[in-house]
Amino acid sequence: GENVEQHPSTLSVQEGDSAVIKCTYSDSASNYFPWYKQELGKGPQLIIDIRSNVGEKKDQRIAVTLNKTAKHFSLHITETQPEDSAVYFCAASRVGDTDKLIFGTGTRLQVFP
């Protein structure tokens, strides 16, 4: 069935360092890949997304890359700050078909000052 694997489950970095979170999806028909940040007691907040016709997308300190052949996509955060500390979720879906988001298991990122 449809599945999204996410690694690592926890990630600790020093402020100013980079953080990378990786996901692998199983459904080759997936064409939309959003990333969400979830802070304690809050709902997931969309931070960046990428579609299958694009290999890379950047928004200030955040970038996402997609390798359709390998069915991998990754989130890159540069110059991390303490306020980046949260749980990050990747997801995959088939837009225009099922639309439902299949989520990874989450990565708890801690940025130490």
Partner 1 sequence: DAGVTQSPTHLIKTRGQQVTLRCSPKSGHDTVSWYQQALGQGPQFIFQYYEEEERQRGNFPDRFSGHQFPNYSSELNVNALLLGDSALYLCASSLTRTDTQYFGPGTRLTVL
Chain contacts with partner 1 (rule: CB under 8 A): 4, 6, 32, 34, 36, 41-46, 49, 51, 89, 91, 93, 95-96, 98-106
Q: Output the smallest distance, CB 16 to partner 1, in A.
A: 29
- In the structure encoding, which two tokens stand for residue 32, read together? 């939309």
Q: Which amino acid is at 98?
A: T
Write down the least CB distance from residue 43 to partner 1, Å: 4
Q: What is the spatial distance between Cα 22 and Cα 37, in angstroms, rounded to a whole number?
A: 14
Cβ-contact 36, 58 below 8 angstroms? no
Q: Name the residue nearer to partner 1 (CB basis): 71 or 94.
A: 94
